[in-house]
Structure 1
């Protein structure tokens, strides 16, 4: 790899991170032999169709249904693929979830269910609890996405308003045996929070969900308030209906960061790992990592250094902001402002699923000339950040990273490349 092309190196690292989480690579090693008897495959998430494709490559045609994001379908032999909306659910997701629950009805102890779960499943697997309507669920999801709440907090509330999350999908299949294969997009890789844990119990009770509503000022529709008032629906980890359910994580952020590290080291770089589970406001994390990069750039480096991290940032929507952005692009924009064209520092911030926020953009690249390019285009960088228009900004300066559907999802990927400076 030619270190004289920093953007090429950063993109190669991101590509390696995505490839390491490809279900076609990750699933075969952890998929058991196909059980005898009836086998049903279900699933939901941005990677679920690719996971189904990987399963059938090993097991052959299977009965089943998985729900994925629009544009993320894959060719399968027997498993039906349904596309639905993400990040805010739609009628297609609700109808497909109902059909999935029907598919699990009447299974016996000799039957086997394989569940394929990945990030995005919280919106795609949609069965409103109580008297909640789809419009109610859409309103709650939109409020959560704008609140700045971390993913585990969002998913805690979501599962208490659902008839399928928080172990309820596994309960629907009981007494059949169930194996869940998960691709993690949550910091810490807790199965209870990947797609809101449809096959996993959760010890957090209804009070935790109510506390999240209060903490983030979530305006709930009356039907949602009624569901929370009635008490919890989420299964406890020791619920008997989960006694025949097993979970395995087949891909996680740490594996992808390790693959990116190999690319960087092959290019002659040192790598400093900052963690695979960093959370917080995107612009704050962008500024702090940019400051770290500036300090290291003046420390007399003898070799290029990469600061590598993963996790899931959040963006709290500011009243009056009218821009289009996502956590990764906002992080990159804030970092560019903090760096102020510092020489020899480049960065990439992308979501491994290829979708940063709700836009069909993975993220963005920055370098020493980012602000100069913006000035040449007549752009006000501070105004773009204030309007939360990071995608609009990077489109103007030609620094967006657009991948299309990556068919996996192991959270955000961030890398700062610092080149040694000639005295």
Structure 2
């Protein structure tokens, strides 16, 4: 079989991104009833691209305001697209959140709100709850990002510190009809977790948020603790009347992208093993992938080479060192350290939004030569892993994967290509 592993893995990554792009998935889901006043709002890494699609395909009058991360904007005529900071909120995100609430205030039951939601929306619509400053939210958010907390845990805390999340946006729209179209970036595709669920009921409690902060030993200001102990901090719960006119639709998920990649690989004669959406420490998830790849290469179990191992989801990184790198670079660095140059195993890991953590790369690529090339360059993979320096490691090898912002987000993509042993 004649195959360029580098080019093939990059082509698969591009396929995963394309399968989740708003241009491919949004238009067919928009409401067919065009009567009444329509307001489009949105937040997330795909919000700008989603606004373009909504404006293009909506035949009636429309106005709106959406927020996307810096570099993810769009040019629309009737829908204003504003850029703000992600993953740590900034003043621009707070200002646009206030403007969104003003835009949807005073609506009637004859009005319609189209809410375009994708990963990143939680940080971008950053309106703190009463008595909490944006600096308070930023400090808690930064601590959570470094703690190793799962995305569901982080969003539980965020919801209870927000004036918009946890169903509060739907309450602000009431009694208008709300149509939320979401691109999922979370394992399990739970509506309550995607961007902290602004238009759906939230089953978690303020007590849960306090327990998470305690679990990860995150020190919080007295005013934040006081708010979380106040009954007013509770989010909108499932079954609340204000949710009766709120409709939620998933239009793209990590599984959609994984399925598209699997179909492309199998069309090229490469069978796939799909492990699904995974969570956990990046370095530990990598060890499991390494074990599976090694078993395939040496023993043909659970399938024979050539084959492709696929997984998605969102891993975490507990920051211990001072290096640079997101969770995908950390995954690949751990994989490299574990495989130690095992022949015929190639891998690519990247974030489908084009940004791995807070770096300029989407991810990186590992070849069977990466381990020995690193040692020759004076890089010890285990030492670099201890320093959380995945970006620096793969930058030195020239193996970063750079896409620039993709304007969508279905979370992490991991592909391990196991080729046949040399004859």
Partner of 1:209: 209
Q: How does 1:392-407 map onto structure 2 within 5 Å? A: 392-407=392-407
Shift of 1:4: 2.5
Shift of 1:221: 1.9
Partner of 2:116: 116
Partner of 2:274: 273
- Checking the alignment, whether the CA contact within 8 Å between 1:3 and 1:267 is kept in structure 2 is no
Structure 2 SS opposite 1:198? coil
Q: How does 1:120-131 map onto structure 2 within 5 Å? A: 120-131=120-131
* In 1, Cα distance between equivalents of 2:381 and 2:82: 41
Distance 1:279 1:302, change over 3 A: closer
Shift of 1:89: 0.1
Paired positions, count: 419
Structure 2 SS opposite 1:422? coil
Does residue 228 of structure 1 match 2:228? yes
Q: Deviations over 1:203-250 (max 9, x none)?
A: 222221111111111211222111101033310011111111000000
Q: How does 1:225-264 map onto structure 2 within 5 Å? A: 225-231=225-231, 232-264=233-265
Q: Which runs of 5+ in 2 are unaligned?
A: none
Shift of 1:3: 4.6
Partner of 1:180: 180
Shift of 1:386: 0.8
Structure 2 SS opposite 1:404? coil
Shift of 1:75: 1.4
Q: Which runs of 5+ in 1 are unaligned?
A: none
Shift of 1:58: 0.5
* In 1, Cα distance between equivalents of 2:275 and 2:146: 27
- Checking the alignment, whether the CA contact within 8 Å between 1:34 and 1:59 is kept in structure 2 is no
Partner of 1:8: 7
- Checking the alignment, whether the CA contact within 8 Å between 1:345 and 1:417 is kept in structure 2 is yes
- Checking the alignment, whether the CA contact within 8 Å between 1:345 and 1:418 is kept in structure 2 is yes
Structure 2 SS opposite 1:417? strand
Distance 1:3 1:335, change over 3 A: farther
Structure 1 SS opposite 2:359? coil
* In 2, Cα distance between equivalents of 1:34 and 1:27: 16
Q: Deviations over 1:20-78 (max 9, x none)?
A: 00001100121122521110000100101111111111015620100110000011121
Shift of 1:131: 1.1
Structure 1 SS opposite 2:72? coil
Partner of 1:55: 54
* In 1, Cα distance between equivalents of 2:408 and 2:30: 17
Structure 1 SS opposite 2:127? coil
List 4+ stretches of structure 1 deviating above 3 A.
300-303
Shift of 1:367: 1.1
Instruction: Compute the TM-score of the two structures, normalised by the length of structure 1.
Output: 0.97
* In 2, Cα distance between equivalents of 1:239 and 1:302: 52
- Checking the alignment, whether the CA contact within 8 Å between 2:336 and 2:381 is kept in structure 1 is no
* In 2, Cα distance between equivalents of 1:80 and 1:233: 31
- Checking the alignment, whether the CA contact within 8 Å between 2:297 and 2:305 is kept in structure 1 is no
Q: Deviations over 1:351-372 (max 9, x none)?
A: 1001111112111100110012
Partner of 2:40: 41
Partner of 1:156: 156
